[in-house]
Structure 1
Amino acid sequence: MTDALDELVAVMDRLRSPGGCPWDAEQTHASLVPYALEEAYELAEAVEHDDRAGLREELGDLLLQVVFHARIAAEHPDEPFTVDDVARDLVDKLVRRHPHVFAPDETDDASGDATDATDDEGRNVRWDRIKRAEKQRASALDGVPLALGALARAQKVVTRADRAGLSAPAPAGDGSLGARLFALVLEARATGLDAEGELRRTAADWEREARAAEGR
């Protein structure tokens, strides 16, 4: 595995170097954003269709995005970092945020909580607290990307608030579409469903029916 990853990094270095690929050489972090988003959605589609070959391919495409961005970052004149730095930061983060695995007899310094959570919800709450302390966020709701789709972002905000023990009345809107949609997000959270995934699957079912009707 290490040899293959090293080879991937070497290929990207060659593509970005003089004499490499002009298209790859001119890309920036910003220009690659649409590709990263597209690959993430294609990965989700492969998972939902239980497409093992597609899953393997799309994981590779996402890995390419990581290596590509890291190679661009390594060229920064003032604050360079490499894919090794990215991997090391990730290892440190995973260990730090899983004290129940790596330090079960200690108290987590970031959250102040004992590390004996016994259920998924307790571990999720502690994860959020550790993350909030690391990033010095003032609110449990900080850090939810504005670029998320509206449905996914609403669900993320509701989940964060619920884990933090926050409560707020359902949005008033005199039956507006937005208020009804948000009420469905609250319902999905209460029943343990993924609103985004449910809508995506239902839309796919409807699309199949529409295509079938088109062919008749």
Structure 2
Amino acid sequence: MGKIGEKFEELLQIMETLRGENGCSWDRKQTHESIIPYLIEETYEFVKEVKNQNYKNMVEELGDILLQVIFHAQIGKEKKEFTIEDIINTLINKLIRRHPHVFGNEKDFSYERWEKIKALEKGEKHFSKIGKVNKSLPALSLARRIQENAANIGFDWDNIEDVYEKVYEELEELKNSKNANEIEEEFGDLLFSIVNLSRFLKVDPEVSLRNATQKFVNRFKKMEELIEKDGGKMEDLSINELEQYWKESKK
């Protein structure tokens, strides 16, 4: 066994110890369900470091993601559901099966073939070129993925100016909505068109919105600090006064 194999075995042993009788009380009580939030959180932490091109932190965050895989594998082993070997073997077989242009006799990559293989794996009789709709994805990520799938078979805008026009069109339709149902539908269409724009701008809409939200939180906290420094209370200030503090916080 090479050094990587030895280190991997050591990692598995550490997790087994943590979940063991004399291990960590917190680790021992976790379940597949209870640690789901950590997998999602660590994934977004990694995405952030990729955007920052911070390779040292990318190493750490990838380690945290690997920890979640090992954690689930250990829980699965204890419950006799599956093992780490099952995970690795399934992945190996999937990679070979889905790349017949590399490991078989097919020529070049084909998106349609890729989706057809996935559909057959899932036992689906009817194959759609739009691909599998993964409803567990966040809405923005799901919209982007569906649009990418459609673009891969040529169903896409020719240039970004057309996409901007579509955004303006959807915004106008939202403004002209007559009732709650129309508003909800047109608002969804507007978001979908903005996600389309994000593809052309090479921006991940999920990450971008999270960053914008965090920026708002940071500025709001700074505004609170400025008001407190001046001896005031936020709830006592008018909207115009709050706007001035908001502008100051942005500096």
TM-score by length of 1: 0.76
- Give the distance between the partners of 1:39 and 1:62, measured in 2 at CA: 6
Partner of 1:26: 29
Find out whether 1:214 has 2:224 as its counterpart: no
Q: Deviations over 1:49-80 (max 9, x none)?
A: 11111101001000000000011011224xx2
Partner of 2:233: none
Q: Which amino acid aligns with 1:116?
A: K
Partner of 1:45: 48
TM-score by length of 2: 0.67
Q: Which amino acid aligns with 2:88?
A: A
Find out whether 1:2 has 2:33 as its counterpart: no
Pairing 1:107-118 to 2, within 5 Å after superposition: 115-117=106-108
Find out whether 1:14 has 2:56 as its counterpart: no
Residue 208 of structure 1: how far off its partner (Å): 10
Unaligned runs of 5+ in 2: 157-165, 175-185, 223-246
Q: Which amino acid aligns with 1:30?
A: E
Q: Which amino acid aligns with 2:101?
A: H
Comparing both structures, which one devotes a greater share of its residues to helix? 2
Find 1:177's aligned residue among 184, 187, 191: 187
Unaligned runs of 5+ in 1: 106-114
Residue 98 of structure 1: how far off its partner (Å): 1.1
Asked whether the equivalents of residues 170 and 190 of structure 2 are also in contact (C-alpha less than 8 Å), the reply is no
SS in 2 for 1:31: coil
Partner of 1:144: 133
Residue 181 of structure 1: how far off its partner (Å): 1.6
Partner of 1:83: 84
Partner of 1:196: 205
Pairing 1:55-94 to 2, within 5 Å after superposition: 55-77=58-80, 80-94=81-95
Find 1:154's aligned residue among 140, 143, 147: 143
Partner of 1:108: none
Residues 6 and 213 (structure 1 numbering): CA distance in 2 closer, same or farther, change over 3 Å?
Answer: farther
Q: Which amino acid aligns with 1:152?
A: S
Asked whether the equivalents of residues 45 and 61 of structure 2 are also in contact (C-alpha less than 8 Å), the reply is yes
Give the count of matched residue pairs. 197
Partner of 2:57: 54
**Greater RCO (CA < 8 Å, at least 6 residues apart):** 2
Partner of 1:111: none
Partner of 2:97: 96
- Give the distance between the partners of 1:209 and 1:8, measured in 2 at CA: 37
Residues 2 and 88 (structure 1 numbering): CA distance in 2 closer, same or farther, change over 3 Å?
Answer: same
Q: Deviations over 1:82-127 (max 9, x none)?
A: 1111011101111111111111x2xxxxxxxxx212xxxx533322
SS in 2 for 1:30: coil
- Give the distance between the partners of 1:136 and 1:203, measured in 2 at CA: 41
SS in 1 for 2:135: coil
Q: Which amino acid aligns with 2:38?
A: Y
Q: Deviations over 1:29-66 (max 9, x none)?
A: 00010000000000001111111111010010000000
Residue 26 of structure 1: how far off its partner (Å): 0.8
Q: Percent identity?
A: 34
Residue 203 of structure 1: how far off its partner (Å): 2.7
